[in-house]
Amino acid sequence: MTEFNRPKLPESLKTNGSAENPWWANAVVYQIYPRSFQDTNGDGFGDLRGVIQRLPYLADLGIDVIWLSPVYKSPQDDNGYDISDYEAIDPMFGTMEDMDMLISRAHKLGIKIIMDLVVNHTSDEHEWFRASKDKDDPHSDWYWWRPAKPGFEPGTPGAEPNRWGSYFGGSAWQYDSERGEYFLHQFSPKQPDLNWENPQVRQAVFDMMNRWLDRGIDGFRMDVITLISKHLADGDIPSEETTGEPGPDGYCSLWDFCSDGPRLDEFLSQMRREVFEGRDGFLTVGEAPGMSAQRGAHITDPASGELDMLFLFDHMGIDQEGPAGKWSVKPWKLGDLKRVWKSYQTSVAQKGWASLFVDNHDQPRVVSRWGDDSSEKMRVLSAKAFGLFAHMHRGTPYIYQGEELGMTNANFTDLSQYRDLESVNMYHQLVEQAHVLSSDEMMNALRAMSRDNARTPMQWDDTRFAGFTAEYAPKEPWIEVNSNSEFINAQAQIDDPNSVYSFYKSLIALRHANPVVACGDFKAVAEDDEKVYAFVRSLPPEQVSAAVAASSGSSGSVSDDTAVVSSDSSILNGSILPDSVVPGLVADGSVANGSAADSGSLRDLLVVINMSSSSARLPDEVCGLIGDGVDGDSVLLTNYDPDNTSASILLGKLSPWEAFVYAL
């Protein structure tokens, strides 16, 4: 593990309720989906040396932590989320020596590395699963094996233990002729669920995690970790009679039986004790689909001894409703977004912590989903607006690769262009088998919601393959490059002070320089307004002096002998840094509009966002907070020209997607 190179928040400021403020309360995390980030050997897939190559770019952006999606050995049925060996690197991504080099060089930049951990399930090619097929093997109870339904011939239609449907389509039960029984898989048939009721399974997982931490990584992001405890009936999987009525696809949902089970807290507490107790400088974040904000607050409360933070997903469902689930897309409403994010904020107001995100590898690009990518102007404005939205709340913000450039959805037009297992499987199930959606309806749904929208190659420059791989590489990228990479790319933005990239740098610098952004209280403003999202971040009076003291030392510099990474296009030159170079980033707290977020600006912060492509009236409640006069120096950050925003405030009318932070 490496030390956090930002100023630590003083103990007089309250964060997650722990006795000592955690380092990650003032951190920004950047998610890398390695197969789509940077290809260095021309095979069409991103690799670990590609991540190493782009470390100067990430240092310039100002992030503190890299979350690395799975690079373990895997058959790649679900792009690496089906792990066949937790302690080997898949040759697609490189070698263990490459992984060690990445850890070392990231640490020299002051950047921590957390790895994606998938332990709800393994690959069906994992040695544990292969051994479990033998009923006499010690691993025989490491997975959820069950016999055929009474009265049915095993392996025949309808013989599955019950009618549960997989989230990726089809039955959640797969027959194995070698064992003569069915195994449970909530996702792909090549992703059998581990049986966490078995203490040997838990111990094997904990031992593996300890070995990775000993190797030098800084923590884990835990995939669907809230599904590891199942709701059992008399110690067994629920029977056919208790699984509910099937949906239009012929299957019942297994959600109520596999989510947030009765032993989840116990399992996570045991993990905390056996893996992390006695260690410092780590971060644990769990993916928690379907988890309520209140349950999330309990799990992330330090007193519970479970996880540091969770990814909650209620906001990701505000544009979905209908018989096809996530594929029944509806227009989103700002009121729904306000309601959900307020619940996130209020639930952890005293204890616990929030993960702040609008993009990741499983979600479509936010600028296409909720923003406006119909024109270059609207794309840039709405990308900045949603960046401001996520980063200015209380919690730890997560940036997904390309989000800082305003990358858009893929806009694929043919099913053959999709690579995502879920997307392809659900097309066949909903269109060809269950006839829930027409082909046109499903193709529209895929364009809007497919996970592949987030997985197109990172757009580095305007060359043929966007700089992801060489123009004349032996293999083309594993998935098509977005056609708009000619004008949406890092090279075009890195030196442009008005770019989305520069705006994200300003957001990160503002957070690092002002403790009120990291841990100030949250109060919603103008909650009934249908266009404007507004809230106030504030520190209690008794904490202001401590905040000023913290800000006065917030240069963010590392050691005196550390070189500074320049903020020009040289960070995109593609060279791999020699071990002797120890780059760092000096975060001076400057923002895009030229004003500095110094200790004098550590007052209550008002955040205002017009979340629409039309002009909007500035709510009366917002006007009342600002008062009669407008102090231009109080506009700390805006996605328009500062003079434009000052005029908007005076006129009481916001331009499309206008978003700003104002020091009260």
For tokens 């470390």, name the residue.
55
Report the candidate in 190, 193, 180, 188 with the shortest Cα–Cα distance to residue 152.
180
Per the residue annotation, which of 223, 403, 404, 420 is the catalytic one? 223
Judge whether 223 counts as a catalytic residue. yes
What torsion do the CA atoms of 301, 307, 308, 313 make, to the nearest 10 degrees? Answer: -90
CA gap 454, 365 in Å, rounded: 6
Q: Which residues lie below 8 Å from residue 339, measured CB to CB, with a gap of 6+?
A: none
Apex 107 CA angle, 64 and 597, nearest 5: 30
CB 408 within 8 A of CB 484: yes
CB 283 within 8 A of CB 311: no
**3-class secondary structure, 533:** strand
CA gap 469, 120 in Å, rounded: 33
Q: What sign for the dihedral angle of Cα 385, 390, 393, 399? A: negative
CA gap 7, 21 in Å, rounded: 12
CA gap 467, 469 in Å, rounded: 5
First to last CA, the chain: 39
| 404: alpha, beta or left? (left if phi > 0; alpha if psi -120 to 50) | alpha
Residue 606 tokens, joined:
């008002």
CA gap 15, 616 in Å, rounded: 34
403 residue type, one letter: E
CA gap 557, 563 in Å, rounded: 10
CA gap 422, 515 in Å, rounded: 41
Report the candidate in 296, 411, 402 with the shortest Cα–Cα distance to residue 354.
296
Report the candidate in 415, 456, 455 with the shortest Cα–Cα distance to residue 432.
415
CA gap 60, 114 in Å, rounded: 19
CB 412 within 8 A of CB 452: yes
Scored b (16 or more CB within 10 A) or e, 97-123 reads ebbebbbebbbbbbbbbbbbbbbbbbb
Per the residue annotation, which of 60, 78, 193, 287 is the catalytic one? 287
CA gap 15, 9 in Å, rounded: 9
Cβ atoms within 10 Å of 600's Cβ, excluding its own: 11
Find the radius of gyration of the CA atoms of the chain: 25
Residue 139 tokens, joined:
């691993």
Q: Which residues are catalytic?
A: 223, 287
